A = this chain, B = another copy of it.
Amino acid sequence: MFEHIISSVAEKTPLIHCITNYVTVNDVANVLLACGGSPIMADDAEEAEEMTSICNGLVINIGTLNARTISSMVLAGKKANELGNIVVLDPVGAGATRLRTQTTLRLLEEVKFSVIRGNISEIKTVYQGSGTTKGVDADISDAVREDTIEEAISFAKSLSKKTGAVIAMTGAIDIVADSQKAYIIRNGHPMMSKITGTGCMLTAMIAAYCASNKESVLEATAAAVVAMGYCGELAYKQMKKTNGGTSSLRIHLIDAISKLDDAALIGGCKIESKK
C-alpha cells in the first residue's frame, strides 16, 4: 500500500482552496507546498465559489469561525461537491461552543465531505450533535487507548456510514476508517502536542493526498496520517540531536514533510488494518 501516494501529489501539484483559521494558516500553506501541493486561501463569500472552481480540493477548518466565513464555507463546499472535488472538514473545537457545534452540524447537512478529521472529542461532537471539548484538545477521558481501540473503530465506521466520509480520528493512537475498513496508526510523538497546528496541517495534507489519489481516499487519508506522525518522529529525533525546543520541532517537522517520499513513508509506517 501507499506505493505512489506521495509521488502522485508531486506529479499533480493539486491546488487546495483553504478556508481556515488565522492561527495556523501560514503553517498550513507551507505544509501544502512541502508535501507537493499548492495552497490558496480565500474566505470571502464573493469569491469562495469561483476560487474553489479552479482548485482540486477544499479544506474547511472552523478554527476561528465568524459569521462572514461560515457562508463562504457553505458556498465553497457546495460548489466543490458539484465539481466532484475532494472536501475535507476540520471541526476545530466542535463541542466547545454552540457556534462551533451548530456550524459543524450545518456544514454536515449542506456539504458532503470526503474526509472528516478531528480529535476524538470533535469527532464525537460530529456524531452526537453535542459534546464537551477542553479547548481544542480531546478530553483525556475520551482518548483512544489500547483497550478502547475496538470501540473507537466501530464508532468511526458508523460515523463514516452516517456521513459518507472517511473518518480520521487522531490522537496518541490514530484511527482512519470508512464504513468497511479501518486503519490503526501508531506513528507520532507526544511532543507534537506542544506545537500548534499539527492537526490543521494534517487536514490540509489529507486534502492534497486525496485530491491526487481520488480513487483511494481511505488509503490516501491513512497515508497522510502516517506521514504526519512519522515526520513528527523524525522531527523529534532531530530536535533532540540539536538540543532544540518546541519551535525547532516545528521547523524539523515541515522540513521532514518536504523531504518525504514514497519509500520513506512505507519504511516508516506503523499501521495495522482491520476489517
Residues of A within 8 A of B (CB): 15, 21-27, 29-30, 33-34, 38-44, 46-47, 50-51, 54-55, 63-68, 93, 96-100, 134-137, 193-197, 244-248, 250-259
A252 to B255, CA, bound (A): 13
CB-CB under 8 A from A63, the residues of chain B are 41
CB-CB under 8 A from A30, the residues of chain B are 195-196, 246-247, 250
- Which residue of chain B has the shortest Cβ distance to A137 in the bound complex? B38
* Residues B97 and A51 in contact, CB atoms below 8 Å apart: yes
* Top 5 A-B pairs, shortest CB-CB distance: A245-B255, A247-B254, A245-B258, A246-B258, A47-B97
CB of A13, distance to nearest CB on chain B (Å)? 9
CB-CB under 8 A from A44, the residues of chain B are 64-67, 99
12 chain-A/chain-B pairs, Cβ below 8 angstroms: A30-B195, A30-B250, A43-B66, A46-B97, A46-B99, A47-B98, A50-B99, A54-B134, A54-B135, A55-B135, A244-B255, A245-B258
Interface centre among A134, A136, A194, A246 (most CB of B within 10 A): A246
- Which residue of chain B has the shortest Cβ distance to A100 in the bound complex? B47
Q: For A97, give its contact among B50, B66, B246, B256 (CB under 8 Å).
A: B50
CB-CB under 8 A from A99, the residues of chain B are 44, 46-47, 50
* Residues A135 and B40 in contact, CB atoms below 8 Å apart: yes
Knowing A15-B135, A42-B93, A258-B194 are in contact, say whether A23-B26 is a contact too (CB < 8 A): yes
A197 to B247, CA, bound (A): 14
CB-CB under 8 A from A100, the residues of chain B are 47
- Which residue of chain B has the shortest Cβ distance to A253 in the bound complex? B247
CB of A265, distance to nearest CB on chain B (Å)? 15
CB of A30, distance to nearest CB on chain B (Å)? 5
CB-CB under 8 A from A197, the residues of chain B are 26, 29
* Residues B23 and A41 in contact, CB atoms below 8 Å apart: yes
- Which residue of chain B has the shortest Cβ distance to A43 in the bound complex? B64
Q: For A33, give its contact among B66, B246, B255 (CB under 8 Å).
A: B246
* Residues B247 and A247 in contact, CB atoms below 8 Å apart: no
